[in-house]
Amino acid sequence: MDARNTTQQEHTLSRETIGLALGTLGVIIFGGTLPATRVALTTFSPWFVTNGRAAVASLAAALLLLILRKRLPKGDAPALFLAGLLLVFGFPIFSSIAMQTVPASHGGVVLGVLPLVTSIFAALIGGERPSVFFWVCGIAGAVLVVTFAMRDNGMSLSTGDLFLFLAALSASLGYVVSGKLSRHMPGWEVICWSLILTAPISIPGAILSWHPEFASASGAATFSFLYLSFGSMFLGFFAWNVGLGMGGIARVSQVQLLQSFVTLAISAFLLKEHVSGETVLFALAVIAIVALGRRARVAR
């Protein structure tokens, strides 16, 4: 009996470890989203960035599904469409608007509330039951993030911060919906079908929001747009959705606190944004909390 329990625990640990590793890979890809958005916005409008990246990604998704001869799981279509609305449109448009007024490094730290909000949705609709210690760590991380946002703006929240929080709400709910779907279907199929089902919105939206001057976009803006299309909107979700399904939504979502640090590094290196010592300290404090939260129990 003890041997069987030990084997089962090792199997669970293995799945959680793989899930965390895949989730971390997704976070690294997502970490470049805000910096890439800021660069893309030097030429493209927020509406074209949102619809255009989704339209390009949906074409890639359609090609992949066609090659592999996959059929739409009709019973999951409503949930897939909801995930698409939240992740394909909600987060991109809110974060694009925010990036017009706040630095990417600032946004990277503010989005540190993502794991806590995701855990709340996971508990409400995902059937997961995090322990009290888990919630303590999550709330502590969120308090640090809000404190940072207010200190960075003269002890008040800017309009950009409000749009970042809306982006976090949209992404968190989308992660839970797609994470639940990834428990019984491949994670890469979840994002592919979400893109396909929302393509009737994104493709016309991209066409309507196109302006002739976009054709003369700089190489940096074009590369950033393509990164958002194939990285943030497509490949990143391959790893992220599978990770959520294998390791548990609440637990794997905590590694997204590391996204703040990835965004800070990219913002400083590529965008030459000034990253103060205080900003780094806040990011490190949040990372320390996610390390503690990693040890907390989460019942599934």
Q: pLDDT per residue over 199-220, tens digit each?
A: 999 999 999 999 999 999 999 9
Instruction: Report the share of the chain in percent with pLDDT over 70.
Output: 89
Predicted confidence (pLDDT) at residue 244 exceeds the cutoff of 50 = yes
Please give the C-alpha separations between residue 26 and each of 17, 123, 241, in angstroms, as whole numbers. 14, 22, 9
Tell me which amino acid residue 265 is.
A
* pLDDT at residue 115, rounded to an integer: 75
Residues in the chain, total: 300
DSSP single-letter state for residue 112: G
Q: Looking at the DSSP assignment, which residues form a beta bridge with residue 298?
A: 130
Provide the pLDDT for residue 153: 58
226 burial level (CB within 10 Å; 0-12, 13-18, 19+): middle
Q: pTM value?
A: 0.81
- Which residue from 88, 93, 91 is spatially nearest to 199, judged by alpha carbons? 88
pLDDT tens digits for range 44-79: 999 999 999 999 999 999 999 999 999 999 999 999
Nearest to 202 by CA among 41, 54, 48: 54
On the question of pLDDT at 4 being above 80, the answer is: no
62 CB-contact burial (10 Å; exposed 0-12 / middle 13-18 / buried 19+): middle
CA-based angle 223:228:232, to the nearest 5? 140
Name the more confident of 106 and 217: 217
Interval 136-161: pLDDT, tens: 877 887 788 777 767 765 555 678 88
Chain mean pLDDT for the chain: 84
Comparison of pLDDT for 9 and 86, the residue scoring more: 86
Structural contact between residues 48 and 206, judged by C-beta atoms closer than 8 angstroms: yes
pLDDT digits (tens, 9 = 90+) for 10-21: 455 577 788 888
Q: Are strands 298-299 and 129-130 parallel, antiparallel or unpaired?
A: antiparallel
pLDDT on residue 1: 47
Q: Rounded distance, CA 72 to CA 46, Å? A: 30
Mean pLDDT of 69-98: 93
Query: What element of type H or E holds 69?
Result: none
In this predicted structure, which of 34-38, 67-71, 123-127, 186-190 has the lowest mean pLDDT? Answer: 123-127
* pLDDT value at 189 more than 70: yes
For the segment 232-256, the average pLDDT, to the nearest whole number, is 81
